[in-house]
Structure 1
């Protein structure tokens, strides 16, 4: 555990700063649409599908711009890039309140996609990688502990705001938070230090870890594993509670079961922090996906009983909590800290595309084949993810 001085005056201050800004960024850019879209659609006279299409478009733009954002963080640092991302997010969120024309509405969501690419986990992980180098795994784990509370804070805060004002006023409040809190924290409180490059002289070369070039088959398998996994939380977030309801679980109980997801994420990350530091990130990723597949097996064996639903929510949350850490740690362990931000951005590109596609694709399966088929399709993506992770071979240590 780092000292208090390191958290205040040293590079570990980045974890505190990003812990706050991640809660704000996720709570403003990612989680509110589930509450706001029905209000926007009703107010503008649009269909809910069109309103949600804006968010999907934002995720596609985020994926396409993620490599550029990561490369800029490698070169200039998160204190500049994430500060600019917060200001872009503030402008876009404010514009959303006034975008009455459908074309303007979609254009604003494209701008929000740039803000998403520059504010959420991937740029935060890239910033920590630039500051801590190959030692960024533990800071990443600490950061995800804070990020795990974003939905817990965001949804109640959004709901409270909507009781005092409408969705436009709420988004204007969010714009002020990004501009007046997140942007200054990124610009002035993030450390500007950069990890020293590893020594290359012959006396130390035998103690250095081996890294793979960020390309070829191994990179493809890493990107494919995380992209296949991305389908699962994105698709289930949109449909799981409704599936519980159609299975006969009453709405209040279904919401309570869904609420187990967040605490399970945080509990799993605490366990990883306490006991999993020695495990290679690849093994952590494999265990995460295997745990989720075990949850699907519970549903397949017992059906949507109350016990099975609770068990699945806990296993789903724990697996997702661990895999979030692995998303930052696996590329660092395999490809090293050099160019880490751009590597993360390249991996994020298919990840974000899958996040955007999953809710719509799963809705199509539910409508035409039912909930059981939708769960089977989702589990199949988990199998693909695990197969890719198992196929990856760690680099050999230098002889």
Structure 2
């Protein structure tokens, strides 16, 4: 297997998938996942609902995504991402059109269930499964390259959504995003993704020749530890995304500084992924995962010992962003390295289901702890989930070479 990637690989070979998915991941995350924080408050204000009810719809979407992901992964294994992700983009467009028109509370939750199906068929897990089908055991590097582009989704989405809301209203904004999904993402998935399928029984050796893959069956203790580790970690980014900046604000940091601190997260993610892609791509992903969680726990310890100040908060944001950037890669790379490329899409779906369920529950659980105890207790709870995740990945033993 060649280590260099030619222009022909990017334009006509399998690496074209990374270019296509790099665009569509920014679009899909930006149109569906990152918009509720800005648009849901406008929806509930117009319809007289509570913000908790409005965000509950988004949580219902994540729950739905977690339930259907195993089936989405299996379909990608069988049919390919060019079929499944195209359908997912069209379902997402339909959901955004419907959410503009529904006014009944039950219908609102039903539409978020539709958008949950779209998230399952469009976001990272579907993209990773697609790359696994195309590249087989060599999918780690393409997965890392894809996450470099995906790391900019929030950077693009929030300013774009803010600009659209200033010029139009939330109805027009969602209709515009529906058009982007239908007329940009869907055609790119349908006509841009390669149809090829890699062999899954071999993996590349250092000499470039194929050799039998040494992997474990995706069941038993090893699978349970991987699933538990990623599920425990899911609490961390979901809970912190919903509450971290508010915690810093309540600690006395100026609002403008809090916004600046929050802006450090995205570049830190991308920077860590660049390092992984360029320097440590040959390190087993289990070690990458352990290192990332160790960095995260050091960040939590620093806040606990030194207290919250602009400097410690900024350092925490950088370390958390870098760690999360590496974990995102590991969500695709660890299962591939341990269990192989055969049935990879279904495997990712089985792992992503509980991950998304935890992701949906984390903001509410953390809010309850903040309300009934303190911000410090909520941060301690989040760190505890990171400890559990690290323990799971420390206990896993990779297949013997």
Q: Shorter-chain TM-score category?
A: over 0.9
1:297 aligned onto 2:301 = yes
1:286 aligned onto 2:290 = yes
1:337 aligned onto 2:331 = no
Superposition map of 1:239-254 within 5 A? 239-254=243-258
Distance in 2 (alpha carbons) for counterparts of 1:283 and 1:302: 28
1:39 aligned onto 2:29 = no
> How far is the alpha carbon of 1:246 from its aligned partner?
0.5
TM-score, with length taken from structure 2 = 0.97
Distance in 1 (alpha carbons) for counterparts of 2:266 and 2:386: 20
Superposition map of 1:159-178 within 5 A? 159-178=162-181
> How far is the alpha carbon of 1:339 from its aligned partner?
0.1
What is the match of residue 130 of structure 2? 127
> How far is the alpha carbon of 1:163 from its aligned partner?
1.0
> How far is the alpha carbon of 1:92 from its aligned partner?
0.4
Deviations 1:97-123 (Å, cap 9, x if unpaired)? 001110110000000000000000000
1:53 aligned onto 2:33 = no
Which of 113, 120, 127 is 1:117 aligned to?
Answer: 120
Which of 106, 110, 121 is 1:107 aligned to?
Answer: 110
3-state SS of paired residue (2:199): coil
What is the match of residue 323 of structure 1? 327
Ranges in structure 2 where 5+ consecutive residues have no aligned partner = 204-208
> How far is the alpha carbon of 1:126 from its aligned partner?
0.3
Distance in 1 (alpha carbons) for counterparts of 2:199 and 2:341: 10
Distance in 2 (alpha carbons) for counterparts of 1:114 and 1:197: 27
What is the match of residue 210 of structure 1? 214
What is the match of residue 382 of structure 1? 386
> How far is the alpha carbon of 1:307 from its aligned partner?
1.4
> How far is the alpha carbon of 1:305 from its aligned partner?
1.3
TM-score, with length taken from structure 1 = 0.97
What is the match of residue 360 of structure 2? 356
> How far is the alpha carbon of 1:206 from its aligned partner?
10
1:273 aligned onto 2:277 = yes
Distance in 1 (alpha carbons) for counterparts of 2:283 and 2:112: 40
Distance in 2 (alpha carbons) for counterparts of 1:376 and 1:277: 32
What is the match of residue 228 of structure 2? 224
Distance in 2 (alpha carbons) for counterparts of 1:346 and 1:196: 22
Which of 62, 69, 89 is 2:72 aligned to?
Answer: 69
For residues 199 and 391 of structure 1, do their structure 2 counterparts lie closer, same or farther at Cα, with a shift above 3 Å needed? closer
3-state SS of paired residue (1:118): helix
Deviations 1:14-39 (Å, cap 9, x if unpaired)? 00000000000000110010001110
For residues 296 and 335 of structure 1, do their structure 2 counterparts lie closer, same or farther at Cα, with a shift above 3 Å needed? same
3-state SS of paired residue (2:122): coil
Distance in 2 (alpha carbons) for counterparts of 1:197 and 1:342: 14
Deviations 1:135-154 (Å, cap 9, x if unpaired)? 00000000000000000000
Q: Are the aligned partners of 2:137 and 2:200 in contact in 1 as well (CA < 8 Å)?
A: no
Deviations 1:257-280 (Å, cap 9, x if unpaired)? 011000000000001111111110
> How far is the alpha carbon of 1:88 from its aligned partner?
0.3
3-state SS of paired residue (1:97): helix
Distance in 2 (alpha carbons) for counterparts of 1:273 and 1:184: 29
Q: CA RMSD in A?
A: 1.4
Distance in 2 (alpha carbons) for counterparts of 1:10 and 1:206: 19
Distance in 1 (alpha carbons) for counterparts of 2:112 and 2:213: 42
What is the match of residue 186 of structure 1? 189
For residues 206 and 174 of structure 1, do their structure 2 counterparts lie closer, same or farther at Cα, with a shift above 3 Å needed? closer
1:365 aligned onto 2:369 = yes
Distance in 2 (alpha carbons) for counterparts of 1:173 and 1:93: 9
Q: Are the aligned partners of 2:201 and 2:213 in contact in 1 as well (CA < 8 Å)?
A: no
Ranges in structure 1 where 5+ consecutive residues have no aligned partner = none
Which of 254, 265, 271 is 1:261 aligned to?
Answer: 265
Q: Are the aligned partners of 2:125 and 2:352 in contact in 1 as well (CA < 8 Å)?
A: yes
Deviations 1:221-280 (Å, cap 9, x if unpaired)? 001100100000000001000001100001010010011000000000001111111110
